[in-house]
Amino acid sequence: MNSTSSRYDASALVHYAAQLLQRAGLAEAMARTVADTLVQGDLLGHDTHGLALLAGYVKELEAGAMKRDGMPIVISDRPAAVLWDGQRLPGPWLVHQGLDLLLPRARELGTASLVIRRSHHIACLAAYLLRALEEDMLLVLACSDPNTASVAPFGGTQAVFTPNPLALGFPIADGGVMVDISASITTNGMSNRKRQAGETFEHEVLIDARGRPSKDPAVLFEQPPGTLLPVGGQTHGHKGYGLALLVESLTGGLAGHGRADPPEGWGATVYLTLHDLHAFGGKAAFLRQMDHVATQCRTNPPADAARPVRLPGERGLQGRAEQLAEGVRLAPSIAPSLQAAEQRYGLKLADALR
């Protein structure tokens, strides 16, 4: 993560972001939830999906593209399976509302799932995995954005999918495992950041419209546009292609709303499933198995002695603890991106400095 040397207080960042969202018209409770979720993204090191999104969210509120208040519509409600229409409400608020709904059902039934159609963007998936660690749950979370496309199917040259992130979180004895991956090698957010900075990727993670490999994110903005490569790249991209289809089926397929419908703007279709560890073999048995696997991974002889094997999310959780204690470092592009909104609403990111 490239960041400035300045350190910000995490609570002050949440307050700043919530105030900015409120002044742009978002209801207070929603603003607090969205702000906290964005800051959690930065705390965990996912700095393209933290406060880097705030300026865009403010613009969406101002344009009426993100709904400012209201409730999702319940389309279907069975004990272990629920479908909502998110009504273009803020994605982080909808996901946390969904987890609040699912937690008691998963405790009663063992497993509970929610799919949300017509949500706005949901920010960093890893931020929601913290709740699984706290609640002795295994959480599976996925989302797609049916309103746009930037990833071609393996062997193709025209975009069909978004990066289609997929996340998994569960506790272990000394913390938790937090997997936050996507079906594409890189993301739109990182591609946009590198393009704006005039940078290229280290590896060929894109193709142009003729299928030629590229390190340059500018190919995404050519006419006709290039695309992001699926996980596995040009030789084994069938793996990422399969992941993309998995996410599409869990989101748009189960929601009955997706790429076959007219686009509505920046948004998401979301899939959430909670599994209660106590409902299957029990928490102790789960931890016995997963702690054993975790130990095998961590003690695995590293290919590079300077880079020991870590568990997914381990660095993020360590960084979160460090930044909560010592202050949050933000990517250098974040402060400039917020200047116009700050001028409109009379707020200063600098007020959150430690």
CATH classification of the domain holding 152: 3.30.1370.60
Which range marks the domain in which residue 267 is found? 10-185+229-292+312-352
Assign 3 a pLDDT band (cuts: 50, 70, 90). Answer: low
Query: Does a structural domain hold residue 175?
Result: yes
**pLDDT confidence of residue 276:** 98
How many other CB atoms are there within 10 angstroms of residue 342's CB atom?
18
Query: Does a structural domain hold residue 41?
Result: yes
SS3 at position 22: helix
**pLDDT confidence of residue 215:** 97
Q: CA-based Rg of the chain, rounded to a whole angstrom?
A: 20
Q: How far apart are CA 153 and CA 207, in angstroms?
A: 12
**pLDDT confidence of residue 4:** 66
**pLDDT confidence of residue 5:** 80
**Mean pLDDT across 181-195:** 94
Taking 50 as the threshold, does the pLDDT of residue 1 lie above it? no
Query: Does a structural domain hold residue 159?
Result: yes
Domain count of the fold of the chain: 1
Entry pTM: 0.95
Query: Does a structural domain hold residue 248?
Result: yes
Digit-coded pLDDT (tens) for 321-346: 999 999 999 999 999 999 999 999 99
Taking 80 as the threshold, does the pLDDT of residue 311 lie above it? yes
Q: Where are the beta strands (DSSP E) in 240-281?
A: 268-276
**pLDDT confidence of residue 89:** 99
Residue % of the chain over a pLDDT of 90? 98
Contacts 24+ apart (CB under 8 A), 185-189: 185/228, 185/229, 185/230, 185/231, 185/233, 185/240, 186/228, 187/48, 187/49, 187/163, 187/228, 188/150, 188/162, 188/163, 188/220, 188/228, 189/48, 189/49, 189/52
**Mean pLDDT across 46-69:** 97
How many other CB atoms are there within 10 angstroms of residue 29's CB atom?
11
Digit-coded pLDDT (tens) for 279-305: 999 999 999 999 999 999 999 999 999
Query: Does a structural domain hold residue 192?
Result: no
**pLDDT confidence of residue 238:** 98
* Residue 132 in tokens: 């699984």
Query: Does a structural domain hold residue 117?
Result: yes
Query: Does a structural domain hold residue 222?
Result: no
Query: Does a structural domain hold residue 113?
Result: yes
- 295 Cβ partners below 8 Å, 6+ apart? none
Assign 92 a pLDDT band (cuts: 50, 70, 90). Answer: very high
